Structure 1
Amino acid sequence: MAWSVLIVAGVLETVWAVALEASKGFSRLVPSLVFVVALALSMAGLAYAMRSIPLGTGYAVWVGIGAIGTALYGMAVMGDAATAARVTCLVLILGGVAGLKVLH
């Protein structure tokens, strides 16, 4: 259960990062509210998961999922460059996240 919650919390990290950019410095109400709610749920999920997952593993997986999700969103929606080098780096992060899960 903790791993499922951690994955959802990592996805919510992507949501709050995207909402933060969309809020334009908290000048837009709806994205600002999405940011606050997603951030709170993401942190709560991380805290719950870390009851049974070690700190280093849990935090690294949470950040990795958020980083991959945010980078993919940037490439797919925001026009960020999707170069072979960037995609390779994301695959390496994914490998690290999977490795931490397997070695837990």
Structure 2
Amino acid sequence: MSAAWGWALLVASGLTDVAWAFATKRSNGFTEPLWSVVSLVLLAAFIAMLAKALQVLPRGPAYAVWTGVGAVGALAVGVAFLGEALDPVRICFAGVIVIGIAGLKLAG
């Protein structure tokens, strides 16, 4: 696999991580059977994609990108679908995360 495909797979893994976090929230502590199954399937999927991507990518920047996609994505999903608050402070710190990720990627 090329590095370009590795980055694409890494971003897909991060987005799947966001979907997993949403499904896990909807599982209500794994008391909702359908959402519990969806959560576990998404968990397996994002771990498999992450492991495959890390075979060809530098560990530090790749993990930073993955966690950043998950953190900012989870924030966006929480605001859009779960009624979580969005204020200037959260926007600012999400921006700091994105800038840090971009910096790590560009520096590498």
Give TM class, smaller chain. over 0.9
Q: TM-score, normalised by structure 1?
A: 0.93
Is the aligned partner of 1:54 residue 2:55? no
Is the aligned partner of 1:71 residue 2:75? yes
Is the aligned partner of 1:39 residue 2:40? no
Where does the alignment leave 5 or more consecutive residues of structure 2 unmatched? none
Q: Distance in 2 between matches of 1:38 and 1:102?
A: 30
Q: Which moved more, 1:53-62 or 1:67-76?
A: 53-62
1:78 partner letter: L
Is the aligned partner of 1:93 residue 2:97? yes
Cα deviation code 1:46-102 (max 9, x no counterpart): 111111112221211111101111011111221211100101111111111222222
Is the aligned partner of 1:15 residue 2:19? yes
Q: Distance in 2 between matches of 1:18 and 1:90?
A: 18
Q: TM-score, normalised by structure 2?
A: 0.90
Cα deviation code 1:10-68 (max 9, x no counterpart): 00110111111100111111111111111111111111111111222121111110111
Q: How many correspondences in the alignment?
A: 104
Where does the alignment leave 5 or more consecutive residues of structure 1 unmatched? none
Q: Distance in 2 between matches of 1:101 and 1:84?
A: 26
Q: Distance in 2 between matches of 1:6 and 1:51?
A: 11
1:5 partner letter: L
Measured on the aligned residues, the alpha-carbon RMSD in Å equals: 1.0
Q: Show structure 1 runs of 4+ deviating over 3 A.
A: none
Contact 1:46/1:58, CA 8 A, preserved across alignment: no
